[in-house]
Amino acid sequence: MINTAQNRVCLVLAALLLSIQQPLVAQTKPSPVLERNVSVDFQKVPLESALRTLRQRYGVNLSYSNTALNLRQPVTLRLQNQPLRTVLDNLLRDTNVGYQLVGNQVVLHPAPTKPTTITASAAGTTASTAPPTRTTEPRLGTEEPTAASKPASQTPSAKSATVPGKEASKPAPRKPTSATTAPSASKSTASNNLPSRTSTPKSGATEPSSSDGNGVTASTAPATAVLNQPAAPDSSAQLVSTPEEKTDSEEANRATITKPVQVSFFWPLGSNGFSSGRAVNKLSLNVLAGYQAGVDGFEAASLLNVDRYDVKGAQVAGVGNVVGKQLTGFQGAGVMNVLGGEANGWQAAGVLNLAKRAVHGGQAAGVFNATLGEVRGVQAAGVFNVARSVHGVQLAGVVNIADSVDGISIAPFNLVRHGYHRLEITNSETWPVSASLKLGGSSAFYTFVTGAYDDFGNGPRRWALGYGIGTEAWSRKRLSLALDAVAMHVNEEQRGWTDELNLHNQVRLLLGFAPFKAGGRLRIVAGPTASVLVTQRYDSGEQKIYSNLTKGHKLWLNEGSARTRVFGWFGYSAGIRF
């Protein structure tokens, strides 16, 4: 009976605890702002650039002061689909910057540096950020400790061991302030001669001991050494730094020499000699090619400039420029510019420009431009451009390639992953069937290629190819209004191509309607058109400059000379847009 009653009381108490725990769990539910998954890949980039990427790519609402925080310190982090809390914790771990969530805003603030604690135990030496540890003195006892059980701090070599067959040596006098570390199982001793608050136990206190396989009895109680200030490196107990910490240290101390002027013929034949890789020059002149740590001013070479780190100012070369880190200013070359970091300025080259990270300014090249980051400004090339995201203008002679565009892309082909892609098939008063492929960064501005064909009925066969630009000027739910302008070369000869000028120019105002759902891609389009035909084609049947394209239309324009005629008429266009 008693056991049954006790079981019932225990069940009631367990149910009560569960009911109390549920609201507590609900109150500690993590914030959805910090729990959203993000992916980052930062390789030695400034902290400010990493924060800017989080804001732009994921819409993280960050608030911080550029003057109160050191945002130029480099950070390295690569995480995939991790909560924002984890990303921020790892990103700010080795910095003096902390954060807290205020509403839906992440506020950054200065964070105090944490004291480092080194604990040497039987398993080795480890580091932590625990607060200083104070060892209290045990009470006096009646039992005298043996030589094997006395603390390690009482021996000169910080060892507490007894070898079989030999008498234990007498302990050395205690020192009031000493940092002691217990020996490891492999008989190694880590001694950090650093200030400590640790006290040694008085007589009468007995500590447990253990014996290794070699018959050596060692104390297993670890002693703690607290570092309240930086200490000199100790050969017996050293912290092993991670690759990221080594990289950051190298970044901080990478350039140790600043020179006002350097002149070289070809590395290392120059005024800086073999120390060129550690020199940052205000003025750098290379007769053929030069290799330096960086430039803070101006650099020129007839062939090649190579800089390990940053270039601030202007850099020109007859063949190419290669910069390992950031560019702030202008970079011009006859063939190529290669940049391993971020650009804040302009890159201009006769063939190509390459940038590993974001470009804030512009890139201009005779053949192509490519950057793995974003472009804020202008990217212009004779053949093609490649960028992750574009905020501005992207202009190319053949194709533009980007993930997203916030601006305009001008090229015969604009391949934007998150852009505007539409196929439009229409019928008009001039062409029974025509098709247009519209590509652009957004519906605000797009370009398209178009083709038209007429070989139906008893009339002569004709076809056309052209290119156009357009904009979706207005869009509301199911309705939209687009304005297109196109120019098509018309071929009316049975042999195929018409060599003479025979250009059909047309402006279309098309109203679109989404029949199935608001904002849908599928739309029925229709609207008026205005056409102007400029031709120099001589028609043997008419015995004059003439085009069959004008047959059956009421012309509002019919002018020209004996060699060139201009015709104009109004019409319609109707079809479907996918």
pLDDT of residue 58: 83
Q: Identify the three-state secondary structure at position 207.
A: coil
Q: Is the pLDDT of residue 574 over 50?
A: yes
Q: Is the pLDDT of residue 314 over 70?
A: yes
Confidence of residue 94 (pLDDT cuts 50, 70, 90): confident
Contacts of 518 (CB under 8 A, 6+ apart): 477, 478
pLDDT of residue 48: 85
pLDDT of residue 256: 64
**CA 424 – CA 573 distance, rounded (Å):** 11
Nearest to 391 by CA among 371, 405, 380: 405
What is the tens place of the pLDDT at every residue in 495-507? 678 889 999 999 9
Q: Is the pLDDT of residue 330 over 90?
A: yes
Amino acid letter for position 448: F
Q: What is the arithmetic mean of pLDDT over 361-380? A: 96
Confidence of residue 290 (pLDDT cuts 50, 70, 90): very high
Domain assignments of the chain as residue spans, ordered by start:
33-110, 254-416, 420-577
Nearest to 374 by CA among 348, 343, 397, 351: 343
Determine the longest span between alpha carbons in the chain, in angstroms: 134
Q: Is the pLDDT of residue 26 over 70?
A: no
CA 193 vs CA 198, 337, 535: distances in Å: 13, 53, 96
**CA 382 – CA 135 distance, rounded (Å):** 75
> What are 314's strand-pairing partners?
298, 330
Out of 182-191, 238-247, 333-342, give the one with best mean pLDDT: 333-342
What is the tens place of the pLDDT at every residue in 112-132? 655 544 443 333 444 344 444
Q: What is the arithmetic mean of pLDDT over 310-336? A: 97
Backbone dihedral region for residue 346 (phi beyond 0: left; psi -120 to 50: alpha; all else: beta)? beta
**CA 336 – CA 304 distance, rounded (Å):** 10
Q: Is the dihedral of CA 212, 216, 217, 222 positive or negative?
A: negative
Contacts of 328 (CB under 8 A, 6+ apart): 310, 311, 312, 313, 344, 345
Contacts of 129 (CB under 8 A, 6+ apart): 114, 115, 116, 117
What is the tens place of the pLDDT at every residue in 507-548? 999 999 999 988 888 999 999 999 999 999 988 878 889 888
Residue whose entry in the numeric block shows the structure tokens 């009560």: 16
pLDDT of residue 80: 84
Q: pLDDT higher for 170 or 525?
A: 525
Strand-strand pairing, 269-270 and 209-211: unpaired
What is the tens place of the pLDDT at every residue in 416-443? 999 999 999 999 999 999 999 999 988 9
Confidence of residue 35 (pLDDT cuts 50, 70, 90): confident
What is the tens place of the pLDDT at every residue in 438-491? 999 889 999 999 999 988 767 778 899 999 999 998 888 899 999 999 999 999
Q: pLDDT higher for 302 or 39?
A: 302
Cα 404 to chain centroid distance, Å, stands at 14
Nearest to 187 by CA among 168, 223, 208, 161: 161
Contacts of 176 (CB under 8 A, 6+ apart): none
Q: Is the pLDDT of residue 234 over 70?
A: no
Confidence of residue 53 (pLDDT cuts 50, 70, 90): confident
Amino acid letter for position 314: A
Confidence of residue 68 (pLDDT cuts 50, 70, 90): confident
Chain mean pLDDT for the chain:
77
Q: Identify the three-state secondary structure at position 440.
A: strand
Q: For helices 47-58 and 84-91, what crossing angle results, to 10°?
A: 170
CA dihedral angle for residue 555, residue 559, residue 564, residue 568, rounded to 10 degrees:
-30
pLDDT of residue 427: 96
pLDDT of residue 200: 40
Q: Is the pLDDT of residue 192 over 80?
A: no
pLDDT of residue 113: 56
Q: Identify the three-state secondary structure at position 542.
A: coil
Confidence of residue 12 (pLDDT cuts 50, 70, 90): low
CATH number corresponding to 33-110 = 3.55.50.30
| DSSP conformation letters of 208-236 | -EEE-TTS-EEE---EEEE-SS-----SS
Out of 126-140, 155-169, 172-186, 544-558, give the one with best mean pLDDT: 544-558
CA dihedral angle for residue 522, residue 523, residue 529, residue 535, rounded to 10 degrees:
10
Which element (helix H / strand E) includes 17?
helix 2-27
Burial class (CB in 10 A: 0-12, 13-18, 19+), 166: exposed
CA 191 vs CA 127, 156, 369, 410, 530: distances in Å: 15, 11, 58, 69, 92
Q: pLDDT higher for 31 or 246?
A: 31
> What is 420-577's CATH topology?
Porin (2.40.160)
Confidence of residue 3 (pLDDT cuts 50, 70, 90): low
Contacts of 363 (CB under 8 A, 6+ apart): 343, 346, 347, 348, 353, 355, 369, 371, 375, 378, 379, 380, 381, 385
pLDDT of residue 186: 37
